[in-house]
Chains A and B, each alone.
Chain A
Amino acid sequence: MSTFPWLTVAGVIPLAGAVVIAAVPSAGAAGDAAQRGRDKLVKRVALVVSLITLAVTIAMALRFSPGGPDFQFTQTDQWIPQFGVHYAVGVDGIALVLILMTTVLMPVVVLASWNDAEGGSGPAGEKPPRRSVKTYFALLLVLETMMIGVFAATDVFLFYVFFEAMLVPMYFMIGSYGVGQRQYAAVKFLLYSLLGGLLMLVAVIALYVYSARGGHQGTFLFSQLTHLSLSPVTQRWLFLGFFVAFAIKAPLWPFHTWLPDAATAAQPGAAVLLVGVLDKVGTFGLIRYCLELFPSASHYFTPLIIALAVIGILYGAIVAIGQRDLKRLIAYTSVSHMGLITLGIFAMTSEGQTGATLYMVNHGFATGALFLLAGFMITRRRSQLIADYGGVQKVAPVLAGLFLIAGLAGLALPGLSTFVSEFLVLVGTFTRYEVPAILATVGIILAAIYILWMYQRTMTGPVRDKIVGMPDLNARELWAVGPLIALIIVLGVYPQPVLNIINPAVHQTLVQVHATDPVPPHPATALHQNGGAR
């Protein structure tokens, strides 16, 4: 295997881009025109940098061998020997697809937020304040570095560093560039996440102290921590420390209340990253850290978490139906979907976990597309209220059509990518927990209600006053959202390449957590298992 540090390079490129952008001097006295020129340069740099990062991660993914070692592209260097901390990175299949999802979303977000920093999509009546464009894009790129880092880290300390440091750029993006109650939302987001993170810190340190028992040098390396033998009671406490942080991040009911506020206040681009990537850090953490480090505690808490997940699915869906704000509605659908992902993870079956991991990726693309299209609409009408729209499909058919596809992906229509993952999750859950699976299926029916009703209210019917003459998507917006729609369709028809990457990692997780699949009650599930063994 080549020793080229793929992950480090992929992580450093956006950071370097951010430094370059930060170094672009503002035009200052040279006037508005000069400043606009500088801003354009900044945006182009950001786009190019994010595309280069995407190219690097795709090249890396092509070199990934699904049958190879658990962690690939590994790199381990001393960082703080005093604490036994390493700069250790590496990816398994799950982390790889999530990194790919991140780097795919990034150029999309850059393109979509092209004008957002100048106050592109404020609600009605709010004069968009002029803000520093270069800071916005520098923050975006810094965030990308941290998102790659958080998925790539194989040292718990390093993971924690990225997990927490990630909050800062997102906090500024919501607080400085957001709309409406952005200050409140930003503070709520930061404090919620910080509290969860600090509880996790206690567990992280305790884990280290336990690893140092018996005269060993303590370690944070994931590969060594999985061999740690802890008493069941200790496991439970440490599990809770990690779990609360991830449950807040994901967010799982009842830790979800920050998400609707934050996603509503954030610009659409930032909201895509918030819901698309940051939330996945939570579910990723559940698989990687909660399950693999604390297998017996995971089994112990499974009933509780399944209950929370099912409540989240139904609660998120029902509350979404009642929303009057477009972005808030989408945020609540996310709460519902994240419950489904958690359900799949804790079903502890290979279909369930494969489905959950695939769902993380699909949800990133589908909800991302939905947020972006809603954002494009909001930019035009300058309102987030569903009631202000109507008949959009007559004036902007392309926008409406794409919105429909993204929406249908949200309700998991067969043929679209989310269907595959949702089906796998439900099947995987049903084989072990029948009642929760049935309740979760009710969530899908509710999804049909909130999506279709939203579509009906905004897109169909008579054209409302201020919607008349609303321009359809322009080329930039099409380029931004097109790839996501394409991915939704392609992964819906042919998810096998992604499944091939995910399956060995899921298998490894299940071995680590001592879970075995129940005897397949139906030949259809056996088929998927063959896919997994390949």
Chain B
Amino acid sequence: MTGILAAAAPIATPHIEYGQLSPMLLVFGLALVGVLVEAFAPRPLRRGLHLVLTLGGLAAAFVLTIVVASSSSVFGHGSPGHVAAEGAVGIDRPTLFIWGTILVLAFVSVLLIAESSHDVSPFAAQAAAVPGSAEEREGLEAGITHTEVYPLTLFAVGGMLLFPASNDLLTMFVALEVLSLPLYLLCGLARRRRLLSQEAAMKYFLLGAFSSAFFLFGIAMLYGFSGSVRLSAIAAAASSNTGSATLLYAGIALLGLGLLFKIGAAPFQSWKPDVYQGAPTPVTALMASCTLVAAFGALFRVFYVAFGQLSWDWRPAMWAVAILTMVVGSIVAVTQTDVKRLLAYSSIAQAGYVLTGVIAASAAGLSASLFYLAAYGVAVIGAFAVVTLVRDQTGEAAHLSRWAGLGRRSPLVAGAFAFFLITFAGIPLTSGFTGKFAVFRAAIAGGALPLVIVGVLSSAILAFPYVRVIVLMFFSDPAPDGPAVIRPSAFTSAAVVVGVLATLVLGLDPQPLLSLANHAATGMFIR
């Protein structure tokens, strides 16, 4: 009897804070609308509709993020935030900062994705057509363009928003998949060098699937340890010292592996150069900026909230990973001859610098890393935007030897790229220096001086490939049949200009964004 009664009891409807989740819900909703547009709107109208939906949606989501951030119902009375959606999503200041960053970066990346002029569209006409087949040629001649990229991008961005906000590991896993699957697809859609692009997508998918599996294993272990997938419950179990330590440490390791894979930290970095090289450059820009921010956000939440008490246990491993990442990224970058691979290795090394901020395990470290990610994200999109502009007959001229003398021919474009390289090298008066200074300061204050020394040595090594590119662009004579810089459309120019301005402003007057990051980090993550 009692069993039947219990079964008959009404199921409590979950309480969803729609207002607080509105930025994320808006992005997901518009992604679904985008699918409908793809299904029902006539072909000529699609691109315009998608652009309005995607750009407008991202902008609106950004505004909503600001509204949530200033709402007193979440942060009133000194509250650090609110755990929404029945404990699945944590709405706190770091999350909102990360959301804002991702939305801005995604907006700029979409500008690149939207680059339209027919022979410049970065995406294949028909992804299903076999490379080199008659079908493919027909598609190209018919002027078909892939407009599915817009809803796919929105899904990925939605996943990126949920990923760092997830307050339990299952939600985080779902977010990981939601952000990854569209990216796997997007990677394979390059218009030129399609085999390379498909290979990249395949590699990314296989390795990504492996890392997801590890992530899931980690969740299982931690569930076995604490009996819950909730981050706060894991933290409580860890500090009360109940349960099997083996499960806990194995869980931390496996979960960390999944997250570090997404960041591209060594020794899980091997996908990054291949994927960055093969993927359509706008998608690379999206991954290099937004995915990195989202993955770091999730890493922060997991290691600060769930394993915050155990920093003595995971720190040595994280030290090793950070050192390895900085060293591998910078040393291997020296030998690169492809500009996209060079930027990929540079991105690996940059991830290592941010990891030094993670290791600080302090509010200062969090705030410095948030600043670094925002500053780096804008600059890296700008750098990839420049890469899309340098072209010859076969598409983008990514091989560095083709860039010789670019500064002579197109001083503005080459100058912008040199400026981005200078900021990646961390030379003062650019945002890269401010960011590096901030994370290194937090790391030294947290007692990680040796890590910082490795960091500066790696920066010095990393400066060499950057400087070599500048030498090629400005001090070498142009090759007679060298690539031309195409006249950028308003979209791509906007991405470059945003990158340059943001880099300059954050180098000269970083205080406003630093204050914001600091304000975001002081309350830390909600538990």
- Residues of A at the B interface (CB closer than 8 Å) are 79-83, 129, 132, 160-162, 164-165, 167-168, 171-172, 175-176, 182-183, 186-187, 190-191, 194-195, 198-199, 201-202, 205-206, 208-209, 212
Residue of B nearest to A200 (CB): B456
A187 to chain B, nearest CB (A): 5
B399 within 8 A of A: no
Contact of A175 among B444, B453, B471 (CB under 8 A): B471
B471 pairs with A201, CB closer than 8 A: no
21 cross-chain CB contacts under 8 A: A79-B511, A82-B510, A82-B511, A82-B515, A161-B433, A164-B427, A165-B427, A175-B475, A183-B476, A187-B471, A191-B464, A194-B425, A199-B456, A201-B440, A205-B437, A205-B441, A205-B444, A205-B452, A209-B441, A209-B445, A212-B445
Q: Which of B411, B437, B453 has the most chain A CB within a 10 Å cutoff? A: B437
Residues A80 and B514 in contact in the complex (CB < 8 Å), given A182-B475, A191-B467, A198-B456:
yes
Q: Decide: A206 and B444 in contact? CB cutoff 8 A.
A: yes
B429 close to chain A: CB less than 8 A: yes
* Contact mask for chain B residues 402-436; partner A; CB cutoff 8 A; 1 contact, 0 none: 00000000010000000000100111110001100
Interface assignment of B145: CB less than 8 Å from any CB of chain A: no
Question: Which of chain B's residues have a CB closer than 8 A to the CB of A187?
Answer: 464, 467-468, 471
Name the B residues within 8 Å of A82 (CB-CB): 510-511, 514-515, 518
Contact check, A209 vs B444: say whether CB atoms are below 8 A apart: yes
CA distance A215 to B518 in the complex (A): 18
Are A161 and B429 within 8 A (Cβ)? yes
Chain A residues whose C-beta falls within 8 Å of the C-beta of B426 in the assembled complex: 198
Is A202 in contact with B453, judged by CB distance below 8 angstroms? yes
Q: How far is the CB of A114 from chain B (nearest CB, A)?
A: 22
Contact B449 A206 (CB under 8 A): yes
Q: Which residue of B428, B438, B444, B467 contacts A165 across the interface (Cβ within 8 Å)?
A: B428
Across-interface contacts of B425 in A (CB, < 8 A): 194
For B456, the chain A residues whose CB sits under 8 A away are: 198-199, 201-202
> In the complex, which residues of chain A have a beta carbon less than 8 angstroms from the beta carbon of B518?
82
Q: State the CA gap A164–B468 with chains docked (Å).
A: 18
Given contacts A81-B511, A82-B515, A209-B441, contact A190 B463 (CB under 8 A): yes
Min CB–CB distance B521 → chain A (angstroms)? 11
Q: Which chain B residues lie closer than 8 Å to A208 at the CB level?
A: 441
Whether B474 sits at the interface, judged by CB under 8 Å, is yes
Give chain B interface residues in 455-488, CB to chain A under 8 Å. 456-457, 459-460, 463-464, 467-468, 470-471, 474-477
Shortest CB distance B263–A (Å): 23
Give min CB distance, B321 to chain A, whole Å. 21
Residues of B within 8 A of A168 (CB): 422, 427
A182 and B427 alpha carbons, distance in the complex (Å): 21
CB proximity of A278 to chain B, nearest CB, Å: 16
Contact between B422 and A172, CB atoms less than 8 A apart? no
User: Contact between B440 and A191 (Cβ–Cβ < 8 Å)?
Assistant: no
Report, as a range, how many residues of chain B touch the other chain. 35 or more
Residue of B at shortest CB range from A194?
A: B463
Kindly provide the distance from the CB of B72 to the nearest chain A CB, expressed in whole angstroms: 26
Nearest-CB residue, chain A, relative to B449 = A206
Chain A residues whose C-beta falls within 8 Å of the C-beta of B471 in the assembled complex = 175, 183, 186-187
Interface string of B45-69 (1 = CB under 8 A from A): 0000000000000000000000000
The 7 A-B pairs at the shortest CB distance, nearest first, are namely A198-B456, A161-B428, A82-B514, A175-B475, A195-B460, A164-B428, A165-B428
Known: A198-B457, A205-B444. 16 other contacts (CB 8 A): A79-B511, A82-B511, A83-B514, A132-B411, A164-B433, A165-B429, A175-B470, A183-B471, A190-B463, A191-B464, A191-B467, A194-B427, A198-B459, A198-B460, A201-B456, A202-B452
Provide the bound-state CA to CA distance between A175 and B474, in Å.
8
Contact with A along B489-527 (1 / 0, CB 8 A): 000000000000000000000110011001000000000
Give chain B nearest CB distance to A460 CB in angstroms. Answer: 38
A83 CA / B514 CA spacing, docked (Å)? 9
In the bound assembly, the distance between CA atoms of A194 and B459 in angstroms comes to: 9
Contacts of A205 in B (CB 8 A): 437, 440-441, 444, 452
Task: Tell me whether chain B's interface is mostly helix, strand or loop, or mixed.
Answer: helix
Most chain B CB neighbours (cut-off 10 Å) among A160, A168, A199: A168
- By the criterion CB–CB under 8 Å, are A186 and B475 in contact? yes
Neighbouring A residues of B449 by C-beta, 8 Å: 202, 206
Bound complex: CA A305 to CA B77 (Å): 60
Complex Cα–Cα for A199 and B438 (A): 16
User: Given the complex, which residues of A lie within 8 Å of B427, measured CB to CB?
Assistant: 164-165, 167-168, 194
Contact: A190 with B511, CB < 8 Å?
no
CB distance from B440 to the nearest CB of A (A): 6
With a 10 A CB-CB cut-off, give which of A82, A165, A187, A202 has the most chain B CB atoms. Answer: A82
Q: Is the CB of A160 within 8 A of B444?
A: no
A83 touches B463 (CB 8 A): no
User: For the complex, what is the distance from the CA of A132 to the CA of B511, rounded to whole Å?
Assistant: 36
CA distance A304 to B65 in the complex (A): 59
Q: How far is the CA of A79 from the CA of B437 in the complex (A)?
A: 15
A277 to B481, CA, bound (A): 42
Instruction: Give the residue among B411, B445, B464, B514 with the most A Cβ atoms within 10 A.
Output: B445
A176 touches B464 (CB 8 A): no
Bound-complex Cα distance A333 to B475 (A)? 29
Report the separation of the CA atoms of residues A132 and B467 in the bound assembly, to the nearest whole angstrom: 21
| Least distance between B375 CB and chain A CB atoms (Å) | 14
Report the nearest B residue to A162, measured CB to CB.
B428
**How many Å from the CB of B439 to the closest CB on chain A?**
10
Closest to A212 in B: B445
Q: Which residues of A contact B452 (CB under 8 A)?
A: 202, 205
Q: Smallest CB–CB gap between A195 and chain B, Å?
A: 4
Closest to B472 in A: A183
Contact residues in B for A132 (Cβ distance below 8 Å): 411
Residue of A nearest to B513 (CB): A82
Please judge, given known A-B contacts A191-B463, A194-B460, A198-B459, whether A160 and B475 are in contact too, CB under 8 Å.
no
**Alpha-carbon distance between A206 and B452 when the two chains are bound, in angstroms:** 10
Identify the closest chain B residue to A199 (Cβ). Answer: B456
Residue of B nearest to A190 (CB): B467
Instruction: Please name all residues of chain B whose beta carbon is closer than 8 Å to the beta carbon of A171 when the two chains form the complex.
Output: 467, 470
Minimum CB distance partner of B436 in chain A: A201
Contact call B441/A183, Cβ cutoff below 8 A: no
In the bound complex, residues from chain A placing their C-beta under 8 Å from that of B453 are 202
What is the minimal beta-carbon distance from A237 to any residue of chain B, in angstroms? 9
Q: Determine whether the beta carbon of A160 is less than 8 Å from that of B428.
A: yes
Contact of B474 among A160, A162, A176, A195 (CB under 8 A): A176
Cα A186 to Cα B159 in complex, Å, equals 46
CA distance A161 to B422 in the complex (A): 14
A80 pairs with B441, CB closer than 8 A: no
Q: Which residues from chain B contact A167 at a C-beta distance below 8 Å?
A: 427
Cα-based distance from A487 to B506 in the complex (angstroms): 43
Known A183-B476, A198-B459; contact A83-B437, beta-carbon cutoff 8 A:
yes
A187 to B467, CA, bound (A): 7
Name the residue on B nearest A213 (C-beta): B445
CB distance from A414 to the nearest CB of B (A): 44
Bound Cα distance A83, B511 (Å) = 9
Which residues from chain A contact B477 at a C-beta distance below 8 Å? 129
Docked CA distance A509–B464 (Å): 38
Query: Which one of A167, A182, A202 has the greatest number of beta carbons of chain B within 10 Å?
Result: A202
* Nearest-neighbor residue (CB-CB) of B468 within chain A: A187
Contacts of B515 in A (CB 8 A): 82
Selected from B440, B444, B474, the residue in CB contact (under 8 A) with A172 is B474
Q: Which residues of A contact B440 (CB under 8 A)?
A: 201-202, 205
From residue B164, how far is it (CB to closest CB) to chain A in Å?
A: 23
**Closest Cβ–Cβ distance, residue A44 to chain B (whole Å):** 23
* Bound CA–CA A171/B453 (angstroms): 25
A220 to B445 alpha-carbon distance, docked (Å): 15
Q: How far is the CA of A168 from the CA of B457 in the complex (A)?
A: 19
Bound Cα distance from A195 to B449, whole angstroms: 17
Closest chain B CB from A26 CB (angstroms): 10
Contacts of B464 in A (CB 8 A): 187, 191
Q: Count chain A CB atoms within 10 A of each CB in B422, B475, B510 and give the residue with the most.
A: B475
CA of A82 to CA of B435, assembled, Å: 12
